[in-house]
Amino acid sequence: MDGVIDSDIAEYWENYITDFPNTNLMIMQDCPGSTDDVANWEAGRKIKEQNITIHLPADAEIASGAVDLFLSGTSRTREAGSKIGVHSWQDGNGNEATDYPVGHEEHQGAIDYYIDMDFSQAAAEAFYYFTINIAAHDDIHWMTDEEIEEYGLLK
């Protein structure tokens, strides 16, 4: 998988799995993010239902919404050198995620998605608030190996 994830991802995935029903592995290469969180989360839930393993080769770079899609893998692996980038989001009114207080309903969609990806409530909240506080929407934080382990991104 390469490129930006757009609003067609859920439909694309549905068509892909219909055409290739024995698919059990997705390799993410260069995925800088998504333009539609809701469609991305819908696709992620479908990918999880299909029990797809997702792997990052050594030269892979995934960021933002692509990290959410990566989390849909029922098994998630990466080679040394691969990069996972996270940051905050900005809504259509110019508000940064951190403009909303902890516990605000604007945060719940992502937290619910992480729970659907088998994170506990506490782990989902910890990872989500880490991502929105570590870098602004127009910046990126490349996670360290220790952070990837701490937040349980591999399994």
As given in the structure block, the two tokens for residue 134 are 């570590």
Percent of the chain with pLDDT over 70: 100
Report the pLDDT averaged over residues 80-88: 98
Both tokens of 77, joined, read: 């692996």
What whole-number distance in Å separates Cα of residue 124 and Cα of residue 114? 5
Q: What is the pTM of this model?
A: 0.96
**What percentage of the chain has pLDDT greater than the value 90?**
99
- Note the pLDDT of residue 132: 98
Q: What is the pLDDT of residues 125-140, one digit of tens each?
A: 999 999 999 999 999 9
Report how far apart, in Å, the C-alpha atoms of 116 and of each of 74, 111, 139, 144, 146 are. Answer: 11, 9, 27, 24, 24
Contact, 36 vs 42, CB < 8 A? no
pLDDT for 71 equals 98
Confidence grade of residue 67 (pLDDT, cut at 50, 70, 90): very high
Which domains occur in the chain, in start order?
9-147 (3.90.226.10)
Q: Is the pLDDT of residue 97 over 90?
A: yes
pLDDT at 92: 86
